Amino acid sequence: MTIAYLLIDIDGVLIPFPRQRGNGPATHVRHLVIPTGYDAAKPVPIWLNPAHGPMLTNLFQEVPVTPVWCTSWHGDASTLIGPKLGLPPLPHVELGRPAITTSHPNGYLWKRDPVTRWLRSSRLDRRRLHSHRPRLGRSPYPVRHPNAPHPARPHDRSGTVPP
């Protein structure tokens, strides 16, 4: 049984922000898309790495998660982005369209509230979810200072993970 959702963002994650010359990395393929509500005469250039589709597909098959788009692309994620990566249509979190001009105004994570509402309305087995949820504000994973020695190499102060 799935006990978690994998919320997938697009901008800055699957689609890198363009470089100053207006292009993407050499590993990515340029596509022109017309998002819902955009002028068909002015397609939007995006760059996608063709390796990301198979990588995500393998993840979906190996890990018991339900993949969900969590992006300002809304439903266009399944019609414009997913097919170019070979992904099936996926549900998406309806984020709305906040009246902001930056992605994190004053440190506010604008996706947090819509994601919280969506999770509360989801059909995920809440008993299993709560049994795996850490206390709020606490990570279930120990956090080390970047300069702290790695546990496997106590005398190494580089902070790198051993091979």
Convert the pLDDT of each residue in 96-137 to its tens digit: 777 767 666 676 677 888 888 888 887 654 544 444 443 434
* Ranges 35-44, 63-72, 108-117, most confident: 35-44
State pTM to two decimals.
0.69
Q: How many domains does the chain have?
A: 1
| Structural domain harbouring 37 | 4-97+109-118
- Integer Cα distance of 26 and 10 in angstroms: 18
Q: Domain for residue 69, yes or no?
A: yes
Q: Domain for residue 102, yes or no?
A: no
Tokens 């099936």 label which residue?
88
Q: Domain for residue 140, yes or no?
A: no
Q: Domain for residue 61, yes or no?
A: yes
| Distant-in-sequence, close-in-space partners of 117: CB < 8 Å, separation ≥ 6 | none
pLDDT of residue 140: 41
pLDDT in tens, 129-151: 444 443 434 434 344 444 445 45
| Distant-in-sequence, close-in-space partners of 42: CB < 8 Å, separation ≥ 6 | none
pLDDT category at 162 given cuts 50, 70, 90 is very low
Task: Tell me the pairing of strands 65-69 and 4-8.
Answer: parallel
Q: Domain for residue 30, yes or no?
A: yes
162's tokens: 């051993």
- Integer Cα distance of 142 and 50 in angstroms: 34
Average pLDDT over residues 77-100: 90
Q: Domain for residue 132, yes or no?
A: no
* Amino acid at the residue 2: T
Average pLDDT over residues 2-26: 85
pLDDT of residue 104: 66
Q: Domain for residue 163, yes or no?
A: no
Q: Domain for residue 15, yes or no?
A: yes
